[in-house]
């Protein structure tokens, strides 16, 4: 004998609309929170993991962890650029960019609060090396002037900096002449200007980091080996993309651990909600279950029907929560990455993997909530169930 049809299961849910709606709403909220957390972590990974290119290598002082804390002097920079494995331009010069990174306080739009924005002094090579960087408005800064270009995130977001604005830092006024788009990567939250000018303004004699373009994929190993064996240098090198991905590790871990802990606790509430609904569903239909059994349906059929009902409950909550969460993609979050002490801007993103994970999660919530009530339903004795008053 075949089991009970899905239509029977669905109609049972529709028969008690108010209860079903409340249960789905409660579970849907849990799903929403779960999905949002996953989307946040994914968004952060996308932003900082997508910063920089794997065909560039970034060199900082040994043990300094971040670019802001690192120092590399002129001599070291020259030695590094002369290492094997580095691509050269038409004139035979190595493709290397000596960069200066400083953190500058800019007021957040509409509040008295300050945010730490990264100002990067870079070079023509530095810009051409990052293929994702595209100027979307205005023009490039001219080397040797106090001109700067700002990332799309900075222009759009919290500081609202636009072309023609002047920013004051390092005892100078800097004019914004262009806005660049870095494809949603971490560079979008930065301000770029001429490296030499930044050094002068901030009275620095050392660079922060040196970014070099690799000749080909195999030359990374050649380069790092040469770097490690040179006794004149106390530096460490990483692929540019790996370097920025590592910078966001702590924040990404923090968000996922906190989020998952919260979701786990919340799901207990939702599972209890589903359990209450399903127990009531069993209690209300005792005579009906008895009838079904008398008609020849097996205990297993009854268990399956109630489990399917609970799963359908979970799935509807999952779909509802997922729809709600996808609207969160419109949200842009700006917060401080405590690892680098600087502002990061990222948007929440929904991926197919997240959708699948969320739907599975909601199904599991349904099953956990429906399991015990289903078991109780199947254990009812036929005669007594038929005799019951409800």
Partner 1 sequence: MAWLYLLRLVVKNVGRNRLRTGLTMVGIAVAIISYGMLRTIVQSWYAGAEQSSAARLITRNDSSLAFPLPVSYAGDLRKIDGVSAVTWANWFGGIYIDEKHFFPQFAVDADTYFTVYPEYKISPEALEVFRHERRGAIVGAKIAKEYGWKVGDQIPLKGTIYPGTWNFTISGIYTGADDKIDETQFIFHWDYLNETVKAVLPSQADNVGLFVVNLLHASDSALVSAAIDSSFHNSLAATHTETQKAFQLGFVAMVDTILVAIQTVAYVVILIIMAVMANTMAMTARERTREYATLKALGFSPAFVMALIAGESVAIALIGGVLGILITFPLASAFHAATGHLFAIFEVTPLTVLLQLAAALFVGVMSAIAPAWHTSRLRIVDGLRAVS
User: What are the contacts of 214-223 at 24+ separation with CB within 8 A?
Assistant: 214/55, 214/56, 214/57, 214/85, 214/86, 214/87, 215/85, 215/86, 215/87, 215/88, 217/55, 219/84, 219/85, 219/86, 220/57, 220/85, 222/84, 222/85, 223/57, 223/83, 223/84, 223/85, 223/86
Among 334, 367, 386, 388, binds partner 1 (CB under 8 A): 334
The CB-of-8 to partner 1 minimum distance in angstroms stands at: 20
| Residue 217 in contact with partner 1, rule: CB under 8 A | no
Q: Is 258 a binder of partner 1 (CB under 8 A)?
A: yes
SS3 category, 3: coil
Closer by beta carbon to partner 1, 273 or else 314: 273
The single residue among 338, 356, 360, 382 that binds partner 1, judged by CB under 8 A, is 338
Task: Output 91 or 111, the one with its CB closest to partner 1.
Answer: 111
List 5, 88, 93, 105, residue binding partner 1 (CB under 8 A): 105
**Interface with partner 1 in residues 7-26 (CB under 8 A):** 18-19, 22-23, 25-26
**Residue 61 binds to partner 1 (criterion: CB under 8 A):** yes
The one segment of 51-59, 143-151, 236-244, 327-335 that binds partner 1 by CB under 8 A: 327-335
- For 154, residues 6+ apart whose C-beta sits below 8 A from its C-beta are 117, 161, 188, 189, 190, 191, 345
CA distance 60 to 77: 10
In the list 9, 33, 211, 312, the residue contacting partner 1 (rule: CB under 8 A) is 33
Residues 135-174 that bind partner 1 (CB under 8 A): 169-171
For residue 60, give Cα distances in angstroms to 100, 104, 378: 11, 20, 67
- Could you give the angle at the alpha carbon of 80 between the alpha carbons of 77 and 85, nearest 5°? 145
Residue 63 binds partner 1 (CB under 8 A): yes
Beta pairing partners, 344: 335
Shortest spacing between CB 270 and partner 1, in angstroms: 6
Interface contacts to partner 1, rule CB under 8 A:
18-19, 22-23, 25-26, 29-30, 32-33, 61-66, 68-69, 71, 102-105, 113-116, 169-171, 202-206, 234, 255, 258, 262, 265-266, 268-270, 272-273, 275-277, 279-280, 284, 333-336, 338, 341, 390
């Amino acid at each position: 004998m075949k089991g009970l049809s899905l239509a029977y299961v669905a109609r049972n849910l529709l028969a008690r609309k108010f209860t079903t709606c409340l249960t789905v709403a409660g579970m849907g909220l849990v799903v929403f929170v779960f999905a949002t957390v996953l989307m946040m972590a994914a968004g952060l990974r996308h932003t900082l993991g997508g910063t920089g290119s794997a065909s560039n290598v970034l060199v900082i002082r040994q043990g300094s962890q971040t670019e802001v804390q690192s120092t590399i002097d002129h001599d070291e920079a020259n030695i590094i650029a002369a290492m094997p494995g580095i691509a050269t331009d038409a004139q035979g010069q190595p493709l290397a960019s000596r960069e200066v990174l400083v953190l500058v306080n800019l007021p957040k739009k509409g509040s008295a609060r300050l945010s730490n924005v990264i100002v990067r002094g870079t070079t023509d090579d530095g810009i051409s090396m990052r293929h994702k960087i595209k100027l979307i408005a205005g023009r490039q800064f001219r080397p040797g002037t106090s001109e700067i270009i700002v990332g799309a995130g900075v222009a759009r977001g919290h500081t609202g900096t636009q072309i023609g604005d002047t920013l004051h830092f390092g005892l100078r006024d800097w004019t914004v002449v262009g806005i660049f788009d870095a494809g949603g990567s971490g560079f979008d939250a930065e301000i770029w200007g001429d490296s030499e000018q930044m050094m002068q303004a901030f009275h620095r004699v050392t660079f922060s980091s040196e970014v070099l373009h690799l000749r080909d994929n195999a030359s990374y190993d050649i380069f790092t080996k040469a770097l490690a064996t040179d006794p004149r240098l106390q530096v460490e090198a990483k692929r540019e993309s790996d370097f920025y991905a590592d910078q966001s590790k702590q924040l990404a871990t923090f968000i996922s651990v906190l989020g998952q802990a919260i979701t786990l606790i919340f799901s207990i509430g939702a599972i209890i909600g589903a359990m209450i609904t399903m127990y009531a569903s069993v209690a209300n239909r005792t005579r009906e279950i008895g009838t079904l059994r008398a008609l020849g349906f097996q205990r297993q059929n009854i268990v399956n029907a109630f489990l399917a009902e609970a799963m359908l409950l979970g799935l509807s909550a999952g779909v509802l929560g997922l729809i709600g969460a996808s609207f969160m993609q419109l949200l842009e979050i700006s917060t401080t990455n405590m690892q680098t002490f600087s502002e990061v801007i990222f948007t929440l993103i929904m991926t197919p993997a997240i959708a699948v994970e969320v739907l599975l999660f909601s199904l599991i919530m349904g099953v956990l909530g429906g399991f015990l009530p289903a078991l109780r339903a199947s254990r009812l004795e036929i005669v007594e169930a038929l005799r019951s008053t409800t």
